Chains A and B, each alone.
Chain A
Amino acid sequence: MPRATASSRRASASQLAPPVARGPSAAPLLPQPLIERLLAVAMERGGDFAEVYVERTLTTAVMLEESRIKSAQTGLIQGVGVRVISGPKVGYAYSDDWDEPALLRAASTAAMIAQGGGSERSFPVHRAAVPSHYRVATPLMDVDVALKTGLLSRADKAARAFDARVKQVNASYVDQTRRIAVANTEGRYTEDTQDLCRMAVQVVAQGKNGEQRTGMFGGGGRVSFTHWDTFPPESVAREAARQAVATLGAVDCAAGPQTVVLAPGWSGILLHEAVGHGLEADFIRKGTSLFAGKLGQKVASDLVTVIDDGTVSSGRGSINIDDEGNPGERKVLIENGVLKNYLYDGLNAKLMGQRTTGSGRRESFKHLPLPRMTNTFLAPGDHAPEDILKEVKRGLYCATFGGGQVDITNGNFVFEVSEAYQIEDGKLGRPVKNAMLIGVGPEALKNVSRVGTDPMPDPGMGVCMKDGQMLPVGVGLPTLRIDNVTVGGTKVA
């Protein structure tokens, strides 16, 4: 059921990301003559454009609870989606049967969106080369599952050894090998193999009088399994445990406007929510985003430059091609506070007389592509991070974050802070619990008063949700100061 909000959060240890992935063989997913036949059938009622999307996704997931590997699972999801565009109208049909009659049925179902008569044209396609932004030597699906369960056992031990107050550890590892092929009536045919892995550890610590706090950390990306040699599960677990223990004894958060300093990295969710979603072309075209009609206008402080980059090496949100077969791109969305560009998929770009920015993404063959983000980050500024903190007399330092959500129409966004500290005279004070930031996108960005020299990507655990479609994304932020932010809390001064 679609909602008018979009959100992003860290995938939790107890939640498995949706299937995504690939097969090892170099054989095409579907024979090219069949793809061409499907395109011809899809166009038989005179559509303007047709596309065949083929996906084969293998997922492996292991979970640990109470120091035991609770389960190991693997699965295959495969299917073909046929999309036909006729003017502004879209017909879509998909099938998880690969036999030819079922696929031809899907193509004729999608064709019905066009009202024209029969045409007997053929649509030859030619395979286009695609760039490579992933660092995957061996497909993740080929790695022995025992190595994957081993990561979790190591994480569990490290988290429990970190502090006696660690009471509960849940950990999960998920990887996907996703092969896609996209062919369309413009003759473009591309394939991509998208490996992705993520590990997450969730820790509950117990303090005095039964007080409980949680910590959560994880990471991954489009990387080989060797990633875990340099990003070992012990360090992931220790960070989750550190967060849980550090927030024990936290005091109630003061409600009302404050100066906030955001730690670098995962805090990039703020951008993702405050501006990212509002720049997606479907909202812009329909005039439902508060950023519609603001190209060339000042929408943020001079210090703010926002980039969405699908080409970051091995990034969780990186894509060699988007789910319409177009190369992933680096886009400057906001430059020194001025709105420069929107995120376009093929359809909205065409309807708006623009070109696609390689932002057409979909969760699976069961979904239509939508304009979406990839890796969204803020360019670094020139303030030393330690000075940013030192200059704040009273405020809130936000160290780690949960998720966020935005209403793109009125621009209201929230941003959950899972670890926060009072700032007193430029120094960190007591930990604060249950803090949340709320703001309106452009106003919050106009209040950005310091941008650090320390850009940092998140460790690779972001999940973005829009219209019920879940996608892997990346975010990033240097240390940031924002003035006069409404902080949600329980304590009234």
Chain B
Amino acid sequence: MDYQQLAKKIVQRAKKKGAQQAEAFLEVGRQGSVRVHQGQIEDLTQSTSKGVGVRVLVKGRLGFAYTSDFENAALDHIIDQALKLAGAAAPNKLNGLPSGKDLGRFGDTGQLFDTKVAELPGDWKIKAALEVEKAARAEDSRVVAFNAVGAGDFVSEVYMASTEGMTGAYSGTYVFLYAMPVASDGAGLQTGYWVDYKRFLDDLDTPESIGREATRRAVRMLGARRVKTQQVPVVLDPLVASSFVSDLAAAANGNAVYQGASVLAPLKGKKLAGPHVTLVDDGLLPRGLATAPFDGEGVPTRRTPILDKGVLSGFLYDAFTARKAKARTTGNASRGYNALPSIGATNLYLEAGTKSPEELLREVDSGFYVTALLGQGTDPVTGELSAGANGLWIEKGELTHPVQEVTVAGNLLQMLQDLDGLGSDLQFRGGSVGAPTVRFRQLTVSGE
């Protein structure tokens, strides 16, 4: 089936049925994943999937419907549904699909598709996952079990068409490995988590390194205990720092900003952090997991600095919110076929600093190195952060004993001001959000 043609046909049909504007967003994919347990397959899942979402506008009213059924009758039915639902929505003169001035030329994404991933032999995942498990076990005899060890790959294609002249398509590949070993010292259990997730097979960490690192992270937590309640410097490892980065981006969501429901809303152009702090959303990052030529409504993606050398320089927008806020869309409409576009980050990262992570630790007399967080993180409305944390205690620049059952708390704006160290180890660990090791001058650690 020619899906690009199908997308166009859906748009034409919607127009014929009375839509003033119409858009079809179509996704097709195939995925495979495996989990292994004690040297053999635990489960193996393989599938194909597809779906289409149709957005229509009638007299400034928006309707949306989706289906995973591509039979003609089903497609007709969702077009009718979308038109009917438009009747139930409120008219808003700001509603509308992105138009000519927002559409324009797509930037250069570079390669998104790896033939090696698309043509992986059927048993590659099984072998790779077994190697991960074997390496994790061999790394330390205190590994007694695994929550999960697995591998997966998928290929996805996106096709779009709209009455405003948007047509486009892209396809991409993804491959991942992960491990969650459990270590025991007889008195307690601790787990570690390590993962790698890439578009290209050659970029993927080796199964051995995933297994070994996961185990290292589990065993070093054995014997973890609470510490006293105190205010100390806190260092986040890159995996944990990426959730801080996501929280920042959530507060830079143009809709939250427009509604005044973000701590960053009144601060555009203000200096919030030191000149070493640059936070970027880049939809065109070479080999990025979220790299694509266009966003969820066909607008070209681009690089948008959110914090530029410490200054709050921009927010993330989709077309509708940009119109509301009298801004320009930044190509940050994110969606699946079964959802309306909403603002979301693409490849989001905090630029690396110059110091090694070891150096950042060495400069701490007494503090907390956080390697896992529990909870939802920061409230974008108030900027308040409170999260459960596990990690290692720092004494005189050295990692000492493991710590658990404590929380770290602070406020986003204060944390930006207190961000006094960035590692040279920027990484995208298991997703499209990247961060290096990050150090804050002071947070409240709550424990005994």
A residues with CB within 8 A of B? 1-5, 9, 14, 16, 19, 62, 65-66, 68-79, 88-98, 106, 109, 112-113, 145-146, 148-149, 167-168, 170, 204, 206, 210, 212-214, 253, 255-257, 283, 286-290, 366, 368, 402-410, 412-414, 416, 433-436, 438-440, 467, 486-493
CA distance A170 to B253 in the complex (A): 15
B190 neighbours in A (Cβ, 8 Å): 409-410
| B contact patch SS | strand
Q: How far is the CA of A19 from the CA of B376 in the complex (A)?
A: 23
Contact B387 A1 (CB under 8 A): no
Chain B residues whose C-beta falls within 8 Å of the C-beta of A70 in the assembled complex: 62, 89-90, 92
A-B CB contact pairs (8 Å), 28 listed = A1-B430, A1-B431, A4-B193, A72-B88, A73-B82, A75-B65, A76-B68, A76-B74, A77-B51, A77-B67, A92-B45, A148-B88, A204-B259, A256-B447, A287-B144, A288-B189, A366-B47, A403-B376, A406-B374, A409-B147, A409-B191, A416-B375, A438-B374, A438-B407, A439-B405, A488-B406, A489-B386, A491-B444
Contact of B42 among A88, A97, A214, A467 (CB under 8 A): A88
Q: Once bound together, how far apart are the Cα atoms of A5 and B53, in whole Å?
A: 32
Q: Mark B399-433, 1 if CB is under 8 A from A, else 0.
A: 00000111111110000000000000000001100
Q: Is the CB of A92 within 8 A of B66?
A: no
Contact with A along B434-448 (1 / 0, CB 8 A): 000000000011111
> Does B25 make an interface contact (CB < 8 A)?
no
| A-contact 0/1 string along B99-121, CB 8 Å cutoff | 00000000000000000000000
In chain B between 154 and 203, which residues have their CB closer than 8 angstroms to a CB of chain A?
176, 178, 180, 182, 188-191, 193, 195, 197
Nearest B residue to A491 by beta-carbon distance?
B444
Complex Cα distance A368/B372, Å?
27
Chain A residues whose CB sits within 8 angstroms of the CB of B50 once the complex forms? 96
Contact of A210 among B221, B231, B266 (CB under 8 A): B266
Most buried by A among B146, B231, B446: B446
B354 within 8 A of A: no
**Shortest 10 CB-CB distances between A and B: which pairs?**
A488-B407, A255-B446, A90-B43, A414-B388, A73-B64, A75-B66, A409-B191, A72-B85, A434-B384, A256-B229
A405 close to B68 (CB less than 8 A): no
> Contact: A212 with B43, CB < 8 Å?
no
CB B284 to nearest CB in A, in angstroms, measures 24
Contacts of A5 in B (CB 8 A): 374
With A91-B43, A94-B47 as contacts: A489 and B382 at CB distance below 8 Å = no
**Known pairs A407-B191, A413-B374, A492-B444 / 16 extra A-B pairs, C-beta < 8 Å:** A2-B178, A71-B89, A72-B88, A73-B66, A73-B85, A75-B338, A94-B49, A95-B48, A113-B41, A213-B381, A407-B372, A410-B191, A412-B374, A440-B404, A486-B405, A487-B446
Chain A residues contacting B48 (CB-CB under 8 Å) are 95-97
Output the least CB separation between B315 and chain A (Å).
16
Tell yes or no: B260 within 8 A of A by CB: yes
How near does chain A come to B392, taking the closest CB pair, in angstroms? 14
Q: Which residue of the partner chain, among A69, A79, A213, A408, contacts B89 with CB atoms under 8 Å?
A: A69
Tell me the bound Cα distance from A379 to B78 in angstroms.
Answer: 46
Q: Closest CB of chain A to B75's CB: distance in Å?
A: 11
Contacts of B191 in A (CB 8 A): 4, 288, 407, 409-410
Contact B407 A410 (CB under 8 A): no
In the complex, chain B residues whose CB is within 8 Å of the CB of A436: 375, 386-388, 407, 409
Question: Are A204 and B261 interface neighbours, CB within 8 A?
Answer: yes
Partner of A76, one of B63, B66, B372: B66
Q: Which of B49, B63, B259, B431 contacts A72 (CB 8 A)?
A: B63
The answer to whether B150 has its CB under 8 Å from any CB of chain A is yes
Residue of A nearest to B193 (CB): A4
Given contacts A146-B88, A204-B259, A436-B388, contact A73 B65 (CB under 8 A): yes
Contacts known (A212-B260, A283-B147); A1 close to B47, Cβ less than 8 A: no
Which residues of chain B are within 8 angstroms of A407 by Cβ–Cβ distance?
191, 372, 374, 390
Q: Which residues of A contact B69 (CB under 8 A)?
A: 76, 78, 96, 98
Could you tell me if B384 and A3 are in contact, using CB atoms closer than 8 angstroms?
Answer: no
Nearest CB in chain A: distance from B165 CB, A: 23
Distance from A232 Cβ to chain B, minimum over Cβ atoms (Å):
20
B406 & A486 in contact (Cβ 8 Å cutoff):
yes
> Is the pair A69, B189 in contact by a Cβ cutoff of 8 Å?
no
A288 and B146 contact, CB distance less than 8 A: yes
Docked-complex contact B188 and A72, CB < 8 angstroms: no
Closest to B231 in A: A492
Instruction: Name A146's closest neighbour in chain B (CB-CB).
Output: B88
Residue ID in chain A nearest B226 by CB atoms: A486
Chain A residues in 8 Å Cβ range of B245: none
Q: Are A96 and B65 in contact (CB under 8 A)?
A: no
Q: Which residues of B contact A92 (CB under 8 A)?
A: 43-46
Question: B388 and A145: CB pair below 8 A?
Answer: no
User: Shortest distance in angstroms between B199's beta carbon and chain A's nearest beta carbon?
Assistant: 15
Say if the beta carbon of B366 comes within 8 Å of chain A.
no
Contact check, A286 vs B37: say whether CB atoms are below 8 A apart.
Answer: yes
Query: In this complex, which of B255, B339, B386, B404 has the most chain A Cβ atoms within 10 angstroms of its Cβ?
Result: B386
Assuming A89-B42, A433-B384, A436-B388, is B376 touching A96 (CB within 8 A)? no
**Residue of B with least CB distance to A256:** B229
**A19-B338, A69-B88, A434-B384 given as contacts; is B375 within 8 A of A405 (CB)?**
yes
When C-beta atoms are compared, the residue in chain B nearest to A73 turns out to be B64
Shortest beta-carbon distance from B290 to chain A in Å: 14
Does B213 touch A at the CB level, under 8 Å?
no
Contact B74 A213 (CB under 8 A): no
In the complex, the answer to whether A1 meets B176 with C-beta atoms within 8 Å is yes
Check: B206 CB closer than 8 A to any chain A CB: no
Tell yes or no: B360 within 8 A of A by CB: no
> Is A416 a contact partner of B81 (Cβ separation < 8 A)?
no
Closest Cβ of chain B to A409, distance in Å, is 4
* A4, A62, A71, A488: the one within 8 Å of B180 (CB): A4
Q: Return chain B residues, CB-CB under 8 Å to A487.
A: 446
Measured CA separation A9–B375 after assembly (Å): 10
Q: A204-B260, A212-B382 are in contact. Are A412 and B388 (CB under 8 A)?
A: yes
Q: Are B444 and A489 in contact (CB under 8 A)?
A: yes
Residue B285 interfacial (CB < 8 Å): no
* CB-contact partner of A106 in B37, B47, B182, B386, under 8 A: B47
Q: Which residues of B in the span 248-292 have a Cβ within 8 Å of any Cβ on A?
A: 255, 259-261, 263, 266
Q: Does B224 contact A (CB under 8 A)?
A: yes
| Contact yes or no, B260 A206, CB < 8 A | yes
Which chain B residues (72-87) contact chain A, with CB distance < 8 Å? Answer: 74, 78, 81-82, 84-86
Q: Does B40 lie at the interface of the complex (its beta carbon under 8 Å from any beta carbon of A)?
A: yes
Q: Check B189 against A255 for contact (C-beta < 8 Å).
A: no
Taken together as a complex, chains A and B put the C-alpha atoms of A434 and B263 apart, in Å, by 15
Residue B230 CB within 8 A of the other chain? yes
- State A213–B182 Cα separation when bound (angstroms): 40
Q: Is the CB of B182 within 8 A of A288?
A: yes
* A405 near B388: Cβ-Cβ < 8 Å: yes
Q: Shortest CB–CB separation between residue A159 and chain B, in angstroms?
A: 14
> How distant is B378 from chain A, measured CB to nearest CB, in Å?
10
Contact B409 A434 (CB under 8 A): yes
Docked Cα-Cα span, A91 to B340, in Å, equals 33
Cα–Cα, bound, A297→B382 (Å): 43
With contacts A76-B68, A79-B68 taken as known, whether A438 is within 8 angstroms of B388 at the C-beta atoms is yes
Closest partner residue, chain A, to B320 (CB atom): A70
Q: Please give, as numbers and ranges, the residues of chain B lying within 8 Å of A90 by CB-CB distance.
A: 41-44
When the two chains form the complex, which single residue of A16, A109, A289, A402 contacts B376, counting CB atoms closer than 8 Å? A402
Residues of chain A lying within 8 A (CB to CB) of residue B47: 93-95, 106, 366
B148 at the interface (CB under 8 A from A): yes
The reply to whether A69 and B90 form a contact with Cβ atoms under 8 Å apart is yes
Q: In the bound complex, how far is the Cα of B447 from the Cα of A489, in angstroms?
A: 10
Does B247 touch A at the CB level, under 8 Å? no
CB of B136 to closest CB in A, whole Å: 13
Taking a contact as CB atoms under 8 Å apart, the answer to whether A74 and B65 are in contact is yes
Instruction: Point out the residues of chain B lying under 8 angstroms from A4, CB to CB.
Output: 147-148, 180, 191, 193
Residues of A within 8 A of B372 (CB): 407
Measured CA separation A162–B145 after assembly (Å): 54
